[in-house]
């Protein structure tokens, strides 16, 4: 008789541990392809993600078809029903907006409470999946006559210590992970860009911005309808600014304007982040 799978709540797909293997995972991350890759890599039995407003090219639910091809049932909860980045809120308030064919065959339907969807997914069969190699998720652009690099990363988790003081363009949503300020960004960047994920429940899709303002980091979100969530290149080339913090406004960011124009101007700005400056100096021996 098949074993009954455990249910794992994870606020971010980048934080899945060994306990996610063969479990039904409720994850606060967006439902983009990169999230799907990390889900498959963790060998989950089934998953529920956040639809992030669906957005440009339906990128917010791109993981559903990706995972179906790998034999993994997957669904997404509506961004207006629960806070992105908060798995507990998904379980408490989340309402299913999309499901792949495998999840639908198990009884997951649109309009269903997330908790009921998890019960349906518990009947999924255990299987082992060899996830395809991830697509390149980090690009670094060097602009002529600028001392600042443009770091393009599909997930904010891919920042590195060398990105301190640089312009960091992510494909991640702009919501705080489980409402935790220290998770806003792991380095003191000069400028940071996120996707607003449709803004969603409680305005959660932009909650990193004021926190980063307090750290002296200029930050903006791009509209989920203008750029594919989980795709930093799309954020840079296609993104339209939807929200800014005060530091970004002072650098010239404007809601409704192309992110690329703002970022390229910022690359040549003589302004600097006090937080990034202090961090660099504190790290010196």
Instruction: Note whether 103 and 229 are same-domain residues.
Output: no
Q: What is the DSSP string of 87-103?
A: HHHHHHH-BEEEE-HHH
Q: Determine the pLDDT at residue 147.
A: 87
pTM, full prediction: 0.92
User: Each residue's pLDDT tens digit in the chain (285 positions)?
Assistant: 346 899 999 999 999 999 999 999 999 999 999 999 999 999 999 999 999 999 999 999 999 999 999 999 999 999 999 999 999 999 999 999 999 999 999 999 999 999 999 999 999 988 777 767 776 689 999 988 888 999 999 999 999 999 999 999 999 999 999 999 999 999 999 999 999 999 999 999 999 999 999 999 999 999 999 999 999 999 999 999 999 999 999 999 999 999 999 999 999 987 655 444 444 443 333
Instruction: Note whether 147 and 113 are same-domain residues.
Output: no
CA distance 38 to 33: 9
CA distances from 30 to 39, 76, 260 (A): 11, 8, 23
Pairing of strands 241-244, 218-222: antiparallel
Instruction: Note whether 268 and 156 are same-domain residues.
Output: yes
Instruction: Note whether 98 and 186 are same-domain residues.
Output: no
Instruction: Note whether 33 and 105 are same-domain residues.
Output: yes
CB 267 within 8 A of CB 238: no
The answer as to whether 74 is a domain residue is yes
The answer as to whether 22 is a domain residue is yes
CA distance 244 to 87: 26
- The tally of domains found in the chain comes to 2
Look up the domain containing 261 and give its range: 138-282
Instruction: Note whether 158 and 211 are same-domain residues.
Output: yes
The answer as to whether 2 is a domain residue is no
Instruction: Note whether 209 and 75 are same-domain residues.
Output: no
Instruction: Note whether 67 and 167 are same-domain residues.
Output: no
End-to-end Cα separation, the chain, in angstroms: 60
């Amino acid at each position: 008789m098949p074993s009954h799978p455990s249910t794992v709540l994870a606020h971010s797909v980048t934080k899945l541990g060994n306990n996610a293997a063969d479990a039904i995972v409720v994850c606060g991350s967006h439902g983009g392809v990169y999230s799907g890759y990390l889900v498959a890599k963790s060998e989950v039995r089934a998953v529920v993600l956040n639809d992030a407003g669906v957005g440009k090219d339906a990128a917010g639910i791109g993981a559903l078809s990706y995972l179906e091809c790998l034999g993994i049932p997957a669904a997404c909860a509506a961004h207006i029903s629960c806070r992105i980045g908060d798995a507990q809120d998904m379980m408490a308030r989340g309402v299913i907006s999309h499901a792949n064919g495998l999840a639908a065959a198990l009884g997951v339907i649109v309009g269903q409470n997330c908790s009921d969807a998890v019960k349906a997914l518990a009947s999924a069969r255990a299987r082992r999946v060899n996830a395809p190699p991830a697509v390149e998720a980090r690009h670094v652009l060097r602009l002529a006559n600028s001392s600042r690099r443009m770091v393009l990363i599909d997930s904010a988790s891919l920042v590195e210590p060398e990105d301190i003081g640089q312009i960091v363009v992510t494909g991640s949503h702009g919501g705080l992970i489980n409402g935790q300020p220290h998770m806003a960004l792991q380095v003191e960047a000069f400028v940071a860009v996120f996707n607003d994920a449709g803004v969603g429940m409680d305005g959660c899709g932009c909650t990193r911005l004021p926190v980063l303002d307090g750290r002296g980091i200029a930050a903006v979100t791009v509209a989920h309808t203008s750029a594919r969530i989980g795709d930093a290149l799309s954020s840079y080339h296609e993104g339209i600014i939807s929200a800014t913090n005060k530091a970004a406004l002072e650098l010239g960011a404007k809601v409704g304007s192309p992110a690329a124009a703002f970022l390229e101007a910022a690359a040549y700005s003589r302004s600097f982040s006090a937080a990034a400056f202090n961090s660099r100096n504190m790290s010196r021996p």
